[in-house]
Structure 1
Amino acid sequence: MFILCSNPLTQSDQSYFILLYPQPLGENMTAHHTLADRLRARADQLGLSPAHVAEMAGVNRSFVYDILRGRSTRPGIEKLREVAAVLKVDRDWLIHGIGDVDGTPPFIDNPDEAFVAIAHASPRPSMGGGAVVVEDRDTPGRAYHFRRSWIKHSLKANPAQLRIMHVDGDSMAPTLLSGDAVLVDMTRKTPNPPGIFVLDDGMGLVAKRLEHLPGSEPPAVRVISDNPLYSPYERTVDEINIVGRIRWFAREI
C-alpha cells in the first residue's frame, strides 16, 4: 500500500495526500482486461496450463479455474500472491494491470500506455546531509515503472531526465518522510514557482523547499524545511547546485 502525491508543492495545502491501493498511477493500463484475462494471457505466454500454475503455486486447481471461469472475482490475496510468483508478475498486475512483469507483458491495450522504467540515482538525498548525486541510469536499485502517457501529459517530462531517489531524515516532515521515494525532474532547476527540490546546498545533498528571494543581488533563494523544528536559511544561486524538482512521491505504509 502506498500514499502517493503527484504535486507536493504548496505548504498550506495538505489535501494532496491521496491513498491509493494499489493503483499509484490512475486508471489501469489494461482497464478492459479482467483478472482472468491477465492470468490466462500470462500463463499462455509462459506455456503453462492452469493445472501447472496451480501445482507450482501450491494451490488447489479449483482456485485457478474459478478465476478463469469468472466464478471468483475476489480470490484470496495470499494464494494469488503465490500464483503471481509462478507467473513472474506482481500480484497487483494480476488484479489491476499495474506493476512489474518479468519480460514483455502479454498484452498492452495501447502502445502509448506502455510503462517506462525510471532508474535510481545514488546516493539518496538526506534531509540533514549527504553527497552529491551521481546521475547514473545504471545505478543499482529497483527501477520504478510509470505510464509513458502520464509522464508525457501530466508531468510534461522526458523520462530520460527523471530519476528515482529516496529521502532520509525528518526535516521535511510531514510532507516527506524518511524512506519516501521521490521522482526528480532534472530539467527543472528554477524555483519559480516555489517547490521542493533536491539540491547540494554546500554541505551535502538535501531535499528542501526553495523560494526565490525577489530583488536579491546576487540572486538568492530561501531554503525551507517543512518541519518547524528546522530553521530556514538563505543561499545565493552560486552557493547551491539544484539537481531537480521533486514531481511525485510514494510512501509505503
Structure 2
Amino acid sequence: MQSSSSPPGPEHLPVSQRLKALRERAGYSIRALAQDLGMGNRFSTYSFYETKQKKEYLPVDLVRRLVPLLSERGDPPISPGEVWALSGVIPGGSDLNDGIERATRAQAPRRNADGTVTINEYDISPHAGSGAIVGDTDCGAGESHASIAAWHMPRAFVENYVSDPSALVIIRVAGNSMEPDFMAGERVMVDTAHRVPSPDGVYVLWNGLGVVLKQLMLVPNSNPPRIRIISVNPTYPMDEVDASELVINGRVVGKWVWK
C-alpha cells in the first residue's frame, strides 16, 4: 500500500514537470529540443512550457510535433502515448485520432453558430494582473489580467486578416510611449500565438512591471539574435536585448480608429 507521504505518480504532476522529465529522459537540452521543434535559437519560447505553463495540458499542435522527437528515446524508451498524454490524449479505449480531435476542440476558442467569433478584451492595468495578458496562455508569467468584455465579430471578416482567430485578444493601450501611433485608451487586437519577434513590428511585452506595447526590430547579423525595443515617442530611450530575454505576449495585428 502506498503511504500518504509518498510522492505523486508522474500522471499527477503538473504538465510542465512531466514535459521536462520526458525531455531529460530523451537526452535533449532545452536549446536542442527548441531547435528541433523549429523554434531556432529562441529556446525561451519553448522553455515557457517547462517553467510557466499554467494550463492542465499542452497545445495539441505542440505535442503533435513532440511525438516523433521524443518517442523511442531514453531508458526506458518513451512511448508515443506518454507524449500524447501531455495534451490530454490517452491512446487506448478509443481511436487515437478521435482523441486528438476531442482535445483540439476542447482547447479551441468559442466559434459561434451565428458565424461570429468571440474575442475577449482584457484589462492590462498593473492592478489587474501581471505577466501574460491571460495567465494560462502560452506566454508571459504570473496571474492573469481581468477579462472586462467579450466582443462578437464576424468570423469571415476576422479571418480575412488573421488565418486563425483562436488566439486573438483585445486590450486598451496604456501610457504614452507609443504616441502618436498608439494613443492611450485606444483598443488594439493582439495575436497571442505570435510570440516570435519576426517580422519587425509592434508587439505586446512583459517588461517586469507591466504589459506594454513596443516596436521590435531585429538587429541585423546579430548572433545570438538581438532585438531593439523602440518607443515611437522620442522622449523614451531605445533599448536592446538578446531575443532570448524577451517575454512576448503577442503581435499587434489591428486597432480601432474612429473618424
Q: TM-score, normalised by structure 1?
A: 0.48
Greater fraction helix: 2
Higher relative contact order (CA 8 A, sep 6+): 1
